[in-house]
């Protein structure tokens, strides 16, 4: 080793590359315990390759106007029915700008996989202060319609079936100008038409200024304002909707003063076959509205253990997702939170309550230093268990991270996180292998997932402050790992809220049809299953949103299967 020109040879001992490597190993192990590092990145930033514009630098400085750091969502759906996923980006005026509204962007995926901006020709042009979205076919005509949640009046577009949309906000009966955030279509009353749940954040006083403990201007939190109650719209079946919030019992004792909703999930969490509503509230108790089957809901978040941390303490909930973390066939809920709090994993049980599994899942080791927003359960390596991705970004100044860009956002940027499930519901943070998804320093918010390139593995799109987008292509080497994509249709449309179970041997895997999840975003509506070495499945079982259970025959794998309600083998 002395041949390597030891820099410290004169000090009586040598100090070569091997020692430096050892030192680096010690340092690395001290800095990032438990990180899984493997050669070959799983996710590669392909934004530019796909014809989209990657961020050219940090966003413009903000003006401490709260909505500018809350936007905006990303959605993946096939708007023109050509069989591939298109991209909707809900946008807000740039930080610090005087503008009150901007246009959203719809990108059509072309045959070569690149995206083309078709906003104008599609007619999704109404400008707004965009936040989130809901995507679903409200008239059962086979094409997805779009609801845009805004800071300001929301917008609704009916899909004309030819790749264009007709703005129908007023005709549909959507009114009000509360600050809307997340939204989800689902059929709560079992009449076959998709209803709509919209969360609202706070009643903003734009003149109110907040400061941090050093008396510097800082973004106000929700505590500075009064919350706003959410809205439930019932689909009348004739392209119109009615606000049924009160008659459905979606009423909190304080009339929504503590409802600061940012995330929503609509599916059956109680095992009775009826879709419930989980709402993530910022700094307040989260809500679980349990469907009573008679058109009303009762709030049971506290009783069922999903409203707070394990100490009974409300946290700053932002993004939400549902999946089967522990592989027991029952949906679990994951909620992202502010720095200093844990992102929280609640395991669903067959009993009355959820079980806070945050510490046992090992997730508690990784998240206190970040503020989580968009999130998703998906099997990135198709090994048969559901992994987890989280988009992060600050809301208040923190000591800058190494490599942070200059300017105002220096103290807000964070890295995203990818976690690999060991198959038992324990998660290990993926290090270098996560690629640029987990190394970019940005103020990320939205996160949507789907098989964009139709190769059987799940890709991701992340939005960040400043209307920036990044597309991450999944390039995970998964030799011998199989997969299945299930499209579940009812009434000729995606069966939002359904739960799809795939059985093979003695194992059952569960994945929801739940595009409205994450933060302000909308995912590929197909249920994705990584199968590992399994090369054939025994059966597909769908729990439809109306409570019906239907079994479909098994099949081979590595393909997309479409199942339609009423065409199965029976219960």
Partner 1 sequence: MSAGGALRRTLEAALDVVAVLGIVLFACRPGSSVEVPLPSFEDVDPDVVRAVQEARAAVEANPESGTTWGELGDRYAAHHFLDEAIRCYARAEELDPKSDFWAYRLGWITFMNGSDAAAVAPLERALEIVGEFYGPAHDAYGQVLLRLGRIDEAAEQFTLASRLDAESPQAETGLGQIAFERGDLEAARAHLEEAIARDENHGEAHIVLARVYHALGLEDEAREHAEKSRSLPQFSDRNDWLVNPSVSPAGATARTDYGMELEQKGKFDEAAENYRIAIESNPRSAMARKRLARILVKQSRRDEAIELLRDAERQGVSTALTRDYLARLLGSKEVPEE
State which residue, 370 or 482, has the beta carbon closest to partner 1. 370
Contact region with partner 1 (CB under 8 A), list: 36-44, 253-261, 465-473, 484-492: 253-261
Q: Does 399 bind partner 1 (CB under 8 A)?
A: yes
Q: Which residues contact 431 (CB under 8 A, 6 or more apart)?
A: 32, 35, 36, 37, 438
Smallest CA-to-CA distance from 334 within 342, 324, 350, 322 is with 322
State which residue, 344 or 528, has the beta carbon closest to partner 1. 344
Q: Does 32 bind partner 1 (CB under 8 A)?
A: no
Q: Does 95 bind partner 1 (CB under 8 A)?
A: no
Which of 203, 340, 553, 566 is the binder for partner 1 (CB under 8 A)?
340
Smallest gap from residue 90 Cβ to partner 1 (A): 26
Contact region with partner 1 (CB under 8 A), list: 104-112, 157-165, 220-228, 318-326: 220-228
Which of 304, 344, 433, 501 is the binder for partner 1 (CB under 8 A)?
304
Which of 28, 37, 246, 368 is the binder for partner 1 (CB under 8 A)?
368
Residue pair 139/528 in contact (Cβ under 8 Å)? The answer is no
DSSP secondary structure letter of residue 3 = G
State which residue, 284 or 523, has the beta carbon closest to partner 1. 284
- Residues 223, 219: Cα–Cα separation, whole Å: 11
Residue pair 144/79 in contact (Cβ under 8 Å)? The answer is yes
Smallest gap from residue 247 Cβ to partner 1 (A): 20
What's the Rg (C-alpha) of the chain? 23
- Residues 452, 461: Cα–Cα separation, whole Å: 9
Bridge partners, residue 234, by sequence: 242
Q: Does 405 bind partner 1 (CB under 8 A)?
A: no
- Residues 105, 74: Cα–Cα separation, whole Å: 10
Q: Does 223 bind partner 1 (CB under 8 A)?
A: yes
Binding mask 254-283 for partner 1 (x = CB under 8 A): x---x------------------------x
Q: Does 203 bind partner 1 (CB under 8 A)?
A: no
State which residue, 103 or 296, has the beta carbon closest to partner 1. 296
Residue pair 304/294 in contact (Cβ under 8 Å)? The answer is no
- Residues 258, 273: Cα–Cα separation, whole Å: 29
Residue pair 336/358 in contact (Cβ under 8 Å)? The answer is no
Question: Which of positions 346-365 make contact with partner 1 (CB under 8 A)?
Answer: 352-353, 359-360, 364
- Residues 565, 131: Cα–Cα separation, whole Å: 33
Smallest gap from residue 398 Cβ to partner 1 (A): 10
Which of 275, 305, 446, 512 is the binder for partner 1 (CB under 8 A)?
305
- Residues 492, 81: Cα–Cα separation, whole Å: 13
Q: Does 212 bind partner 1 (CB under 8 A)?
A: yes
Q: Which residues contact 311 (CB under 8 A, 6 or more apart)?
A: none
Residue pair 513/527 in contact (Cβ under 8 Å)? The answer is yes
State which residue, 68 or 379, has the beta carbon closest to partner 1. 68
Which of 63, 94, 302, 401 is the binder for partner 1 (CB under 8 A)?
302
Q: Which residues contact 406 (CB under 8 A, 6 or more apart)?
A: 58
State which residue, 341 or 420, has the beta carbon closest to partner 1. 341
Binding mask 435-464 for partner 1 (x = CB under 8 A): ------------------------------
Burial per residue of 271-297, b for 16 or more beta-carbon CB atoms within 10 angstroms, e otherwise: eebbbbbbbbbbbbbbbbbbbeeeebb
Q: What is the 3-state secondary structure (H, E, C) of 38-98?
A: CCCCCEEECCCCCCCCCCCCCCCCCCCCHHHHCCCCEEEECCCCCCCCEEEECCCCCCCCC
Smallest gap from residue 117 Cβ to partner 1 (A): 38
Contact region with partner 1 (CB under 8 A), list: 170-178, 209-217, 319-327, 512-520: 209-217
CB atoms within 10 A of CB 491: 18
Q: How far from chain centre, in Å, is Cα 137? A: 20
State which residue, 284 or 321, has the beta carbon closest to partner 1. 284
State which residue, 316 or 465, has the beta carbon closest to partner 1. 316
State which residue, 12 or 83, has the beta carbon closest to partner 1. 12
Task: Transcribe 299-343 into DSSP letters.
Answer: E-TTTTT-SS-TTS---B---EEEE-TTSSSS-EEEE---TTS--
Match 């936040």 to its residue by tokens: 131
Cis omega (within 30 of 0) for bond into 72: yes
State which residue, 352 or 536, has the beta carbon closest to partner 1. 352
Which of 83, 253, 505, 570 is the binder for partner 1 (CB under 8 A)?
253
Q: Does 396 bind partner 1 (CB under 8 A)?
A: yes
Which of 252, 330, 401, 560 is the binder for partner 1 (CB under 8 A)?
252
Residues binding partner 1: number (CB under 8 A): 59
State which residue, 246 or 303, has the beta carbon closest to partner 1. 303
Question: Which of positions 279-298 make contact with partner 1 (CB under 8 A)?
Answer: 283-285
Q: Which residues contact 110 (CB under 8 A, 6 or more apart)?
A: 116
State which residue, 13 or 39, has the beta carbon closest to partner 1. 13
Smallest CA-to-CA distance from 522 within 170, 87, 187 is with 87
Q: Does 68 bind partner 1 (CB under 8 A)?
A: no
Q: Does 314 bind partner 1 (CB under 8 A)?
A: yes
Main-chain dihedrals φ then ψ at residue 150, nearest 5 degrees? -120, 160
Which of 308, 415, 440, 463 is the binder for partner 1 (CB under 8 A)?
308
Which of 338, 376, 389, 418 is the binder for partner 1 (CB under 8 A)?
338
Return residues touching partner 1 (CB under 8 A): 1, 13-16, 18-19, 22-23, 26-27, 208-221, 223-224, 252-254, 258, 283-285, 302-305, 307-308, 310-314, 316, 338-341, 352-353, 359-360, 364, 368-369, 396, 399
């Amino acid at each position: 080793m002395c041949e390597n020109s030891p820099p410290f040879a004169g000090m009586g001992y040598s100090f070569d590359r091997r020692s430096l490597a050892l030192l680096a190993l010690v340092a690395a192990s001290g800095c990032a315990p438990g990180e899984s590092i493997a050669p070959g990145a799983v996710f590669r930033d392909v934004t530019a390759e796909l014809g989209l514009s990657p961020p050219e630098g940090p966003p413009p400085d903000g003006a401490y106007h709260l909505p500018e750091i809350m936007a905006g969502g990303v959605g993946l759906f096939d708007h023109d029915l050509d069989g591939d996923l298109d991209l909707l980006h809900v946008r807000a005026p740039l930080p610090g700008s005087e503008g009150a509204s901007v246009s959203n962007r719809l990108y059509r995926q072309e045959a070569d996989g690149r995206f083309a901006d078709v906003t104008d020709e599609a007619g999704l042009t109404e400008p707004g202060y965009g936040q989130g979205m809901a995507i679903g076919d409200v008239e059962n005509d086979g094409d997805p319609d779009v609801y845009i949640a805004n800071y300001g009046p929301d917008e609704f577009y009916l899909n004309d079936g030819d790749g264009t949309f007709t703005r129908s906000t007023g005709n549909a009966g959507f009114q009000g100008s509360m600050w809307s955030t997340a939204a989800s279509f689902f059929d709560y009353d079992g009449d076959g038409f998709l209803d709509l749940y919209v969360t609202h954040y706070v009643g903003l006083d734009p003149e109110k200024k907040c400061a941090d403990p050093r008396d510097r201007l800082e973004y106000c939190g929700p505590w500075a304002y009064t919350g706003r109650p959410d809205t439930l719209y019932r689909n009348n079946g004739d392209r119109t909707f009615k606000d049924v919030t009160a008659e459905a019992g979606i009423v909190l004792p304080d009339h929504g003063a503590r409802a600061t909703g940012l995330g929503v999930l609509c599916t059956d969490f109680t095992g009775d076959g009826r879709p419930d509503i989980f709402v993530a509230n910022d700094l307040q108790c989260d809500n679980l509205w349990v469907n009573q089957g008679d058109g009303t809901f009762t709030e049971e978040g506290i009783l069922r253990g999903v409203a707070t941390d394990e100490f009974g303490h409300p946290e700053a909930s932002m993004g939400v997702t549902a999946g089967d973390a522990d592989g027991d066939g029952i949906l679990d809920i994951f909620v992202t939170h502010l720095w200093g709090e844990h992102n929280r994993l609640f395991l669903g049980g067959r009993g009355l309550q959820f079980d806070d599994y945050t510490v046992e899942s090992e997730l508690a080791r990784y998240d206190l230093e970040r503020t989580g927003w968009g999130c998703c359960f998906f099997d990135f390596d198709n090994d048969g268990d559901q992994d987890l991705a989280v988009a992060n970004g600050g809301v208040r100044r923190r000591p800058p991270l190494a490599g942070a860009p200059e300017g105002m956002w220096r103290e807000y940027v964070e890295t995203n996180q990818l976690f690999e499930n060991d198959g038992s519901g324990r998660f290990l943070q993926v290090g270098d292998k996560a690629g640029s998804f987990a190394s970019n320093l940005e103020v990320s918010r939205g996160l949507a997932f789907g098989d964009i390139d139709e190769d059987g593995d799940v890709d991701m799109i992340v939005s960040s402050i400043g209307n920036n987008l990044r597309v991450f292509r999944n390039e995970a080497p998964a030799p011998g790992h199989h997969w299945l994509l299930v499209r579940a249709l009812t009434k000729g449309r995606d069966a939002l809220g359904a739960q799809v179970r795939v059985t093979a041997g003695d194992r059952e895997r569960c994945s929801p049809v739940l595009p409205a999840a994450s933060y302000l975003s909308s995912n590929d509506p197909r249920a994705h299953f990584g199968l590992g070495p399994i090369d054939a499945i025994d059966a597909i079982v769908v729990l439809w949103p109306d409570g019906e259970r239907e079994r479909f025959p098994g099949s081979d794998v590595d393909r997309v299967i479409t199942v339609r309600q009423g065409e199965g083998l029976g219960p």
